[in-house]
Amino acid sequence: MTDRPQPQPDPMRITTVYTKFGDAGQTQLVGGRVVPKSDQRLNAYGTGDELQVAIALARDQLAILSENLGAAAPPLLRQLELHLIWLQNRLFTLNGELATRMEDRQPGMPLVGLDDVHYMEELIDTLNVPMPPLEDFIIVGGHPVSTALHLCRVICRRAERETERLLEKEPIPEAAIPFLNRLSDLFFVMARRAHHELHKAGLAPAETMWVHDLPKPPMPK
């Protein structure tokens, strides 16, 4: 006798964009708990959602550049695009965790883990191999691709701070803080490596370093 196939849950479908539930300044977490929109949990995963959009901007900048350059594009650009897509997927998973109280977790719920953190550490080390030592702070700028990746870095740092504030109030997933901390480090290294490759290709100036005693420029005429 063969086992009868078990019914599978329907895929999530969003049929109504507006619910009017938020008109009273409230929203529902995963699991059904109603909280005000100022709740710290929303600050945490809302900043993660903002980071999602910043990553999309960096991906778009990379895609535009790769398309414009064609075969002359540094191979690293396409590789970074693929990693950014992976990071968006893992970040989406983390945002789902942060939108769910620990007691409302369901069996089989997708989770980020320390293996994701270790993978990012390996990627950081790999990207850093050809880079010159960093002797001082960087002044961001020089190319839209590297600037977009630096934007991801600073939003990620804010997501980490908001998640730390959530941890002060209630339990959060074990890997959440290490994941965001390492992710911001990864964006920093991605930005530097992208800029490095673009500079080698003659598409960006050298990195601009912080000058402690930079003289004031003359007044415009």
- Whether 25 is in a domain gets the answer no
Single-letter amino acid code for the residue at 160 = E
Dihedral through CA 98, CA 104, CA 105, CA 107, nearest 10? -160
**Strand (E) or helix (H) holding 28:** strand 26-28
pLDDT tens-digit series, residues 15-63: 555 555 555 465 555 555 665 455 788 889 899 999 999 999 999 999 9
pLDDT at res. 183? 98
- Whether 170 is in a domain gets the answer yes
pLDDT tens-digit series, residues 166-221: 999 999 989 999 999 999 999 999 999 999 999 998 999 999 999 999 999 999 99
- Which two tokens mark 20? 């009017």
**Lowest-confidence region among 20-29, 71-80, 123-132, 164-173:** 20-29
- Whether 59 is in a domain gets the answer yes
Domain total of the chain: 1
- Whether 14 is in a domain gets the answer no
**pTM score of the predicted model:** 0.85
- Range of 127's domain? 37-100+110-206
Q: Are 160 and 177 in contact (CB under 8 A)?
A: yes
* Helix spans in 70-143 (H): 75-98, 114-128
Q: CATH number of the domain at 79, please.
A: 1.20.1200.10
How is 179-214 classified by DSSP, letter by letter? HHHHHHHHHHHHHHHHHHHHHHTTSSPPPEEP-TTP
- Whether 2 is in a domain gets the answer no
- Whether 6 is in a domain gets the answer no
Residue of 46, 44, 42, 61 lying closest to 151 (CA atoms): 61
pLDDT tens-digit series, residues 39-49: 788 889 899 99
- Whether 63 is in a domain gets the answer yes
